[in-house]
Amino acid sequence: MDRKDEHVSLAKGFHKIKENSFDHVRVIHDSLPQSAYHQTSIATELFGQRLTSPFFINAMTGGSEKTAGINQKLAILARETKLMLATGSISAALRDPSVAHSYQIVREVFPEGILLANIGAGSTLEDAKRGVDLFNANALQIHLNAPQELVMPEGDRDFTQWLRLIEEITTNLDVPVIVKEVGFGMSRQTMQRLLDVGVKTIDVAGSGGTSFTQIENARRRKREFSYLSDFGITTVASLLEANEIPMNFELIASGGIRHTYDIFKALCLGANAVGISASILNHLLVNELEDTIALVQQWQQELISLYTLVGAKTTADLKQVPLLLSGENKTWCEARGID
């Protein structure tokens, strides 16, 4: 089976609503909120673009006929609910132009959308430009996936040029760059090194949802790395790490977002926007497209209610909401010197 098709079917097979770091975050609400539903805006801003929703569809797929159909549905979903949408890594199209259409379809379906191209961290500036040109992307995501590469027998083994290449792309590309993980999270040290080379937007993509060590391991008979199934820094811990950095930058939360309450908590933890992959893909794969559109619309409505509940009139106001951390989140804070 094509690798991209296999990722989709394994992600579906492994997807289950499981406990994760967001379950150990409690929101301390105000019983007398100074807010009204009709005065509340859930819009946010990323790289100078206004997003009407604070959540978006994060990088997943493209590169085959089957995934073209998925990207088409994701683009209709994005168009009907006005969400930002990222395609999966465009490296397949750079190798084989005959599959370019499986990515370009998102622009055909949603001409005025905020659409992101995605590429691996070992890619050159030239590849990055070709990726953006593929469908006139509004921004480029560069993904970091060292644990996944190491579990794949055919994966990269030399990561020494990644930061240099990221710097070159960030400095020279005409569109904004987002550096993201793929479900393993990031420490403050990693984020600081990215910021030091000029990166302005970081998606922590933490653990607690899709696990690419689990997916890659399941693709082969010889299971060498089964102990790495839940490897990584959780999404909540990664956000707490980000908040320790004494620099302003755009923070995106993703990894293990299951429903509106997780989106809400991630925004309270300081994220400017929240990315969702598996929860949307799996809903789409087992339901009609209209049902997934209705679900996203429900999330948008629910978010307005949750903002109102804590007296927030804007997404930025959520950063002031007091939270209580427990379980592994608390241990993480103690061990890492986070107040």
Report the residue number, 11 or 77, with the smaller CB distance to ligand FNR. Answer: 11
Residue in 42, 59, 78, 114 binding ligand FNR, rule: CB under 6 A: 59
Q: Is 7 in the site for ligand FNR (CB under 6 A)?
A: yes
Q: Is 148 in the site for ligand FNR (CB under 6 A)?
A: no
The Cα–Cα gap between 299 and 309 comes to: 15
Q: Is 60 in the site for ligand FNR (CB under 6 A)?
A: yes
Helix (H, G, I), strand (E, B) or coil at 244: coil
Report the residue number, 127 or 317, with the smaller CB distance to ligand FNR. Answer: 127
Q: Is 89 in the site for ligand FNR (CB under 6 A)?
A: yes
Q: 221 is written with which tokens?
A: 């008979």
Q: Which residue has the tokens 């105000």?
A: 30
The Cα–Cα gap between 272 and 274 comes to: 7
Q: 22 is written with which tokens?
A: 């967001």
Q: Lay out the site mask for ligand FNR across 92-131 (x = CB under 6 A, - = otherwise).
A: --------------------------x-------------
Q: What single DSSP character describes residue 258?
A: -
CB 5 within 8 A of CB 66: yes
Q: Which residue has the tokens 């949408």?
A: 85
Q: 292 is written with which tokens?
A: 């997934």
Q: What single DSSP character describes residue 82?
A: T
Q: Lay out the site mask for ligand FNR across 8-47 (x = CB under 6 A, - = otherwise).
A: x--x------------------------------------
Q: Is 205 in the site for ligand FNR (CB under 6 A)?
A: yes
Q: Residue 119 pairs with which residues in a beta bridge?
A: 142
Q: Which stretch binds ligand FNR (CB under 6 A): 44-52, 56-64, 130-138, 193-201?
A: 56-64
The Cα–Cα gap between 143 and 84 comes to: 17
Q: Which stretch binds ligand FNR (CB under 6 A): 22-30, 38-46, 57-65, 315-323?
A: 57-65
Opening angle at CA 204, ends 202 and 205, nearest 5: 125
Binding site for ligand FNR (CB under 6 A): 7-8, 11, 58-61, 88-89, 118, 141, 143, 180, 182-183, 205, 209-210, 254-257, 276-279, 281
